[in-house]
Structure 1
Amino acid sequence: MLSPIEELKIQAKKHHKAHSGKSDATLSNGHPPRLKDSQLVIARKYGFRHWGHAREVLEGSSCRDYGTFWYKPQCSALLNLWCASYKEAALQQKAQGGFILPYKTQYLVVEHHYLELLGLDSRDANWAEINFDWCSGDIGKRRQLALQRIQHW
């Protein structure tokens, strides 16, 4: 099965191919675009600072900053619990239910409507298998959910 970072690699290669063949394709530094430039474009499209940041988050490494991958401006109209720490988010989820998602250095506890705005099915069995918490649990299940987020971007 395709991993989220592999999907981003494919997108970066397509982007690079589309932009490197043009005769006027030069960057502000005067050089033709390189694959790593396309990787940066794609990483930023999905809410990451750079390619390494995307790889770190999507491969399940422990992070201080998760970027904005699990956010969409339309979700701001929903009432969500914003938590400064993972511990606080876990306590809120235990008390009120919902799904834990990261946002930069904070955590959100959201309802199923939030996931639907992201194009995801909140009834997907992967959510239950990771206890409705994208920040912990089986990395394979978390990667599947992240891939679905990319595919429904």
Structure 2
Amino acid sequence: MTKLPHTQLEEYKIKASILHKQLKSDDLEVALQAAVRFQRLVHLETAVPNEIIAQQANIQRKHALTVIALENDYTSWADLKQRLERKEKLAAFRKRNKYTLLYPQRCAGFINSWYAHYEEAREHLVHDGGYLLLYKNDFFVCQRIYIQTLGLDPDDPDWERIGFDWAQPTDQDALDRLKGKLEQINKGLS
């Protein structure tokens, strides 16, 4: 049986369970290290580690979940959970669509240069310019009018930031912004 990898949210839950068990450990050093981490909680921030260990019966898994959230710069477990679920939902949406948003029906009439291999498409981009996009397992280079028909601004500075290359961008944050804009455009069209 193949074991599926854990989601990031599941990993955080596992870390919280481990932290909770460490606090209850018979090994005093392990318990003290865990207690120090629990001092992030508002109601325990003034308690010394030995006091936290003495109160371990009152410390629940939900407290460990909050500690994990705080250690990862979230305001609460609910905040961490909501953001990760939204991120995972977006990743699943993108995987399902596998960049089909880059080749919608309204753009089917354009003549683009298509390639089965990224290297060939990249060579075309470097030599002739344009915008290197993907569709399923293929690559294509298109021009400004195609980008406009997609609903994106061909002069958006993020294009330059990604090197006009959607397949292997030089700036992932810029690509994420372009993806977000494209997804918003397509929500409005459906």
Deviation for aligned residue 1:56 = 8.9
Q: Please list, as runs of the form range in 1=range in 2, the aligned pairs for 1:39-50 lying within 5 A after superposition.
A: none
**Separation (CA, whole Å) in 1 of partners of 2:173 and 2:149:** 23
Aligned to 2:107: 75
Aligned to 1:87: 119
Q: Which has the higher contact order (CA 8 A, sep 6+)?
A: 1
Please say if 1:103 is aligned against 2:143.
Answer: no
Deviation for aligned residue 1:134 = 1.1
Please say if 1:116 is aligned against 2:148.
Answer: yes
Q: Please list, as runs of the form range in 1=range in 2, the aligned pairs for 1:1-153 lying within 5 A after superposition.
A: 9=86, 52=92, 54=94, 66-136=98-168, 137-153=170-186
**Separation (CA, whole Å) in 2 of partners of 1:134 and 1:56:** 17
* Residues 138 and 113 of structure 1, relative CA distance in 2, 3 Å threshold: same
* Residues 74 and 56 of structure 1, relative CA distance in 2, 3 Å threshold: closer
Supply the RMSD in Å over aligned alpha carbons: 2.7
Q: Choose 1 or 2 for highest CA Rg.
A: 2
Q: Which amino acid aligns with 1:85?
A: H
| TM-score for both structures, normalised by structure 1 | 0.58
Identity %: 29
Which ranges in structure 2 are unaligned for 5 or more consecutive residues?
Answer: 1-82
Higher share in helix:
2
**Separation (CA, whole Å) in 1 of partners of 2:164 and 2:107:** 18
Which ranges in structure 1 are unaligned for 5 or more consecutive residues?
Answer: 1-5, 11-38, 44-50, 58-65
